[in-house]
Amino acid sequence: MLNDLSNAPREVAAVAEPPAATSKSGAPPRRLKPIPGHFLLGSTVEAWRDPLKLFARTVRGEDIVRYKFFYLDYFLVNEPSAIQHVLVSNAANYKKSRNYAGLKVVLGEGLLTSEGEHWRRQRKLSQPAFHRDKLRGFATTMAKCTAQAMDRWAQERMNQPFDLHEEMMRLTFRIVGLTLLSRDFDGDAKLAGEALNVALEWANEYAEAVVRLPPWVPTARNRRFNRAKQQLDELVQRVISERRASSQSFDDLLGMLMAAREEGTEARMSDEELRHELLTLVLAGHETTANALTFTLYLLSRHPEVRARVEAEVDSVLAGREATLDDLKNLDTVRCVAEEGLRLFPPAWIFEREALAEDVVAGVHIPKGAIVGVSPYALHRREQPFHDAATFDPERMRKKAGAAPYGKYDYLPFGGGPRMCIGNAFAMMELTILLAMTVARFRVDLAPGFELELDPATTLRPKHGVHVTLTQRSR
Ligand code: HEM
């Protein structure tokens, strides 16, 4: 996964003019019927109640399934070469879907939500900051924050069950604050976390709403959102202004983004561009990772035999000290566990595009304006190549002769093509360090009676957290 990062921008060049909408075999494309549902709403109510259940009921080995969601024409693509077509070979025919509209109000023209030339320029300017070599220094910050969080857990969390997800959100938020802005969000900037939550909830509800009230309509919810958004913008602008006025140099992501220059013109990012990118990175960079950590520790607590193997590895590699970047290559079981966790519970459980012109995907006609969804949650549950796909089996992630034991578009926790996650190396480094250090020090068990419930919102997260107890391990 780590090496994939450097491939992402090169794939931009592979994006060409959209070809004519014919099927590869030359046969006329099939016109797929939507899954039967309500005459007006189609499958909207079922999707709204439980989209994972809807997909599980309807996909059943199909490469592509069509749904009617009220007025939306929606195709779920669940076959690697068809996904590659949408995300890479014919990426020029697709823009991000209208479901990103809520996030766009929150994040503006940041990498996650922007399109076209603006996105291309920003991606090119930002990409070097996420190169593996540039991330080296962040490993120490990640390990230090984890050690401090664990010291606090040892004091505050030992005697009664608590929500692990809440703690992981706090930890990854602190890490993103320090690595991105050199700001400690564990202290007085807690307000920023609350404002971010308000903004995210608003974006979630906006994406799901049948009737979307723009943020200027003075409802109580919109007013709360606008206040939160203003707080976030002001906070980020304050950091940028302080940085511009300072003669000190910083090794954080903001420092790298501020130093980035456009080839040819030597132009740098404006304050507004930096603000949008920073908010995007804070948002994209902490909840996803917190969810992945929580789900993976949940899986380990359900599989003591796997946990014992992880404990043996971290005891031998770390021997009681903090993890470093150099340890990562020796923590292969931890990597496999993290990747298997991302397979079963991918935080980005779905991402979507909108067809700019008609197309043919998996032999099926896609009309202009249709939404094309790719769901890593559904894709990762294909029996080929993931035999016994519902089972947590990290050994399936062991590399064979240095290569992943599955095709490039079989496993997409970080997406694929030019819009692939820019933070994937950052996230894998963080997941490996945090998991290794947590397992080394504590045994995490589910609280008595706890049952996991999933909440497939903008990210896949545990609906009511994951309630656990901790025991200190004596090696
Ligand atoms: C386990 C953690 C993470 C997961 C599962 C994840 C997943 C994803 C996925 C699937 C996409 C592509 C969405 C699409 O194609 O529509 C994406 C995009 C993105 N992610 Fe991540 N991500 C994670 C962590 C991070 C981190 C740590 C950062 C930054 C520090 C980050 C920043 C971004 C950005 C900026 C984009 C937009 C890239 C673009 O369109 O150019 N992500 N992420």
Question: What CATH number should be reported for the domain holding residue 253?
Answer: 1.10.630.10
Separation of CA 421 and ligand 1 centre (Å)? 4
Tokens of 194: 């609350």
Number of domains in the chain: 1
- Does residue 344's CB lie within 6 angstroms of at least one atom of ligand 1? no
- Where does 142-208 show beta strands of DSSP type E? 162-163
Residue nearest to atom 43 of ligand 1 (CA): 421
462 and 294 Cβ atoms separated by less than 8 Å: yes
Vertex 454, ends 450 and 457: CA angle to 5°? 145
Where is pLDDT greater, at 27 or 138? Answer: 138
Separation of CA 172 and ligand 1 centre (Å)? 15
User: Is residue 197 pLDDT above 90, yes or no?
Assistant: no
Q: How confident is the model at residue 15 (pLDDT cuts 50, 70, 90)?
A: very low
Residue 189's pLDDT is 53
| Nearest residue to 273 (alpha-carbon basis) of 113, 435, 87, 438 | 113
Separation of CA 2 and ligand 1 centre (Å)? 14
Ligand 1 atom at shortest distance from the alpha carbon of 415:
10
Q: Beta-carbon neighbour count of residue 390 at 10 Å?
A: 9
> Mean pLDDT score of the chain, rounded to an integer?
90
Q: How confident is the model at residue 9 (pLDDT cuts 50, 70, 90)?
A: very low
Ligand 1 atom at shortest distance from the alpha carbon of 427:
27
User: Is residue 5 pLDDT above 80, yes or no?
Assistant: no
Ligand 1 atom at shortest distance from the alpha carbon of 419:
40
Residue 18's pLDDT is 43
Q: How confident is the model at residue 30 (pLDDT cuts 50, 70, 90)?
A: very high
User: Is residue 10 pLDDT above 60, yes or no?
Assistant: no
| Nearest residue to 385 (alpha-carbon basis) of 367, 361, 363, 406 | 406
- Which pTM was predicted? 0.92
Question: HSE of 278 in the Cβ direction (CA atoms, 13 Å)?
Answer: 30
- Best probe residue, ligand 1, of 99, 276, 294, 421 (max atoms within 8 Å of C-beta): 421
- Does residue 288's CB lie within 6 angstroms of at least one atom of ligand 1? yes
User: Is residue 6 pLDDT above 60, yes or no?
Assistant: no
Structural domain for 108, as ranges:
2-472
Mean pLDDT of 118-124: 94
Q: How confident is the model at residue 23 (pLDDT cuts 50, 70, 90)?
A: low
User: Is residue 216 pLDDT above 90, yes or no?
Assistant: no
Contacts of 295 (CB under 8 A, 6+ apart): 341, 344, 345, 347, 462, 466
- Does residue 95's CB lie within 6 angstroms of at least one atom of ligand 1? no
